[in-house]
Amino acid sequence: MVTGLLEGTWKGGDRLTEAEAVERFGVSRTPVREALLELAGLGLVELRRNCGAVFAPFGPQEVKDLYAVRTLLEVEAARLAATRLDRDWLFQSLAAFERMREQNAADAGWREDRKLHAAIADASGNRRLAAEIGRYGDIVQLMREIVGARTLGDIHSTTVNEHLAILHAIQRREPEAAAAAMRNHLEQAAESASLAAEARRRKISG
Amino acid sequence: MVTGLLEGTWKGGDRLTEAEAVERFGVSRTPVREALLELAGLGLVELRRNCGAVFAPFGPQEVKDLYAVRTLLEVEAARLAATRLDRDWLFQSLAAFERMREQNAADAGWREDRKLHAAIADASGNRRLAAEIGRYGDIVQLMREIVGARTLGDIHSTTVNEHLAILHAIQRREPEAAAAAMRNHLEQAAESASLAAEARRRKISG
DNA sequence: TCAAGCTGGATTGTATACAATCACGCAAAT
DNA sequence: ATTTGCGTGATTGTATACAATCCAGCTTGA
């Protein structure tokens, strides 16, 4: 439902009333309203009363802004995780990482990627920080739906190496190295996502 | 409605079903559900299906975690605002600041405080960052309802000086100084809020 | 011509009835 | 004694009807 609302080639500022969504999806207004409220909470639509929900713009600039915030959160989490190193945690994370490396299937790879990021977030010891990181995981996943998952389908071998660098820095109890590794990882991801958003922009306007 | 749900002396883990909320507030389930969804989006309750909504714990530790995330966001916004200084913006902000200094009434003071933080967030140039900072403003305001607004009612003169330090650092185009000033400001606020949460904890358990 | 007020349509906010799902307790079998 | 299965009540998910609100366009008066 939530992801369905975002499908299609809407442009920033496009309006969608509840009645239109009802007609398009064949469900009643109640779940439509709840889905719109959820999207509004994630910052992807703006609810204006009696005017319909307006989609937020979602081009390269918005992707960059999104990743800038996500980077703030996750870099801090990596720094904290390296500071409060937990050996049991590290052992399990390395095992999960090996499983991820073996799975080249795109979907499974992304699932393991999210698990790793979530594990680092939990290891920060700040539950709200971890919750926000999870929320941004949701937003990024919706973004993949928006800009087209195909473009971002594969976990590259470089991505695997970036993950390994983060875990090793945490293992060595080097907070700044862990932060830098996480920053680098997310900058790569931001670059890739921004390019995909640019491609989508051209496809829509052309 | 949203703030009403949070009133009272619930402890972390307390459950509230929709039916109970309906009975307590005299409205139907629909607005109750929407309010609970909103609170869940802000991370203040956890929705478990067929088990009622469980309140998140909200003691000193949670307040510290909350302010740690808020500090991450706002410190970065102050840094960016100092980097991309806009003189018109600064002029208006200083004027608003003077108005704030003159208003000692608690409510008006907090309103101007939020306006100042929002202005700095906007000046960062990152709209999503600004949106998240606004969201944390909402969360902190709800927190004041939870821990008791009286305890945090006044804008102290020290707070005014902290604001002034931030604006002056931005005016001097010194990003790191602006970041440090913002960090200091929020650390003071976090300390005050944490003490209030501790007082509430004792009142509830005692 | 312009502005103020009003009316009709559209859109959202709320209430309520019904369907689906799940948790809890009890009983029975191993 | 532990576990497995089922049944019932409780709780949430969905549909739909109705009330409130708002926007646009027209009319009417100066």
Q: Do B73 and A72 touch (CB under 8 A)?
A: yes
Residue B45, domain extent: 2-55
Other C-beta atoms within 10 Å of A108: how many? 14
Separation CA A183–CA B144 (nearest Å): 34
- Does residue B151 share a domain with residue B106? yes
State both tokens at B26. Answer: 């005299």
Number of domains composing chain B: 2
Q: Is the CB of A18 under 7 A from strand C?
A: yes
Q: Compute the mean pLDDT over every residue in chain B, rounded to the nearest whole number.
A: 90
**DSSP assignment, residue B54?**
E
- Out of B19, B39, B55, pick the residue that ends a domain: B55
Q: So what's the pLDDT on residue A154?
A: 60
3-state SS, residue A184: helix
The percent of residues above 90 in pLDDT, for chain B, comes to: 66
Nearest nucleotide to B29 (CA to C1') is C15
Q: Which long-range contacts (CB under 8 A, 24 or more apart) does A101-110 make?
A: A101/A160, A104/A155, A106/A153, A106/A154, A106/A155, A109/A154, A109/A155, A110/A155
Residues A156 and A69 in one domain: yes
Question: pLDDT confidence of A151, banded at 50, 70, 90?
Answer: low
A33 chain-B contacts, CB cut-off 8 A: 34
Q: Kindly state the tokens that stand for A158.
A: 């470089």
Residue in A with minimal Cα distance to B63:
A128
Same domain, B8 and B28: yes
Q: Is A38 on the interface with B (CB under 8 A)?
A: yes
- Does one domain contain both A51 and A84? no
Do residue B44 and residue B65 come from a single domain?
no
Confidence label for B155 from pLDDT (cuts 50, 70 and 90): low
For B58, the closest chain A residue by CA position comes to A128
A122 and A32 inside one domain: no
User: In this structure, are B68 and B112 located in the same domain?
Assistant: yes
Length of chain B: 206
Residues B73 and B30 placed together within one structural domain of the fold: no
pLDDT at B96 exceeding the cut of 80: no
Same domain, B65 and B89: yes
Percent of the residues in chain A that have a pLDDT greater than 90, as a whole number: 63
pLDDT above 70: percentage of residues in chain B: 92
Q: How confident is the model at residue A131 (pLDDT cuts 50, 70, 90)?
A: very high
Chain D bases near protein Cβ (<7 Å): 10-17, 21-23
Q: What is the pLDDT of residue A97?
A: 79
A105 falls in which pLDDT band (50, 70, 90)?
low
Q: What pLDDT, on the 0 to 100 scale, is given for residue A61?
A: 96
pLDDT of residue A92: 84
List C-alpha distances in Å: B194 to A79, B14, B140, B183, B200. Answer: 23, 21, 12, 16, 10
Last residue of a domain, one of A34, A55, A76: A55
From the Cβ of A50, is strand C under 7 Å away?
A: yes
CA of A58: which chain B residue's CA is closest? Answer: B128
- Cβ of B37 and A33 within 8 Å? no
For residue B106, pLDDT over 70 is answered with no
Q: Which pLDDT value is given to residue A99?
A: 76
Looking up residue A85, the CATH number of its domain turns out to be 1.20.120.530
Average pLDDT of the residues in A53-70:
96
Q: Is B154 helix (H, G, I), strand (E, B) or coil?
A: coil
Q: Is the Cβ pair A128, B33 closer than 8 Å?
A: no
Q: Which of B55, B70, B93 is the last residue of a domain?
A: B55
Question: Are B136 and B155 in a shared domain?
Answer: yes
| Tens digits of residue pLDDT in A175-204 | 999 999 999 999 999 999 999 999 999 988
pLDDT at B179: 98
Q: Is the pLDDT score of A124 beyond 90?
A: yes
Q: Answer yes or no: is pLDDT of B149 > 70.
A: no
Confidence of residue B146 (pLDDT cuts 50, 70, 90): confident
Same domain, B136 and B169: yes
- Mean of pLDDT values over A87-102: 81
CB contacts < 8 A (A, B): 57
Instruction: Please list, in sequence order, all residues whose beta carbon lies within 8 angstroms of the beta carbon of residue B27, skipping any fewer than 6 positions away.
Output: B1
3-state secondary structure of B12: coil
What CATH number is associated with residue A44? 1.10.10.10
Supply angle C-alpha A75, A39, A106, rounded to 5. Answer: 60
Per DSSP, helices labelled H in chain A are 2-6, 18-25, 29-41, 60-83, 87-102, 106-123, 127-147, 157-171, 175-205
Q: What is the mean pLDDT of residues A99-104?
A: 70
Let me know whether B51 and B64 are in one domain: no
pLDDT tens digits for range A16-41: 999 999 999 999 999 999 999 999 99
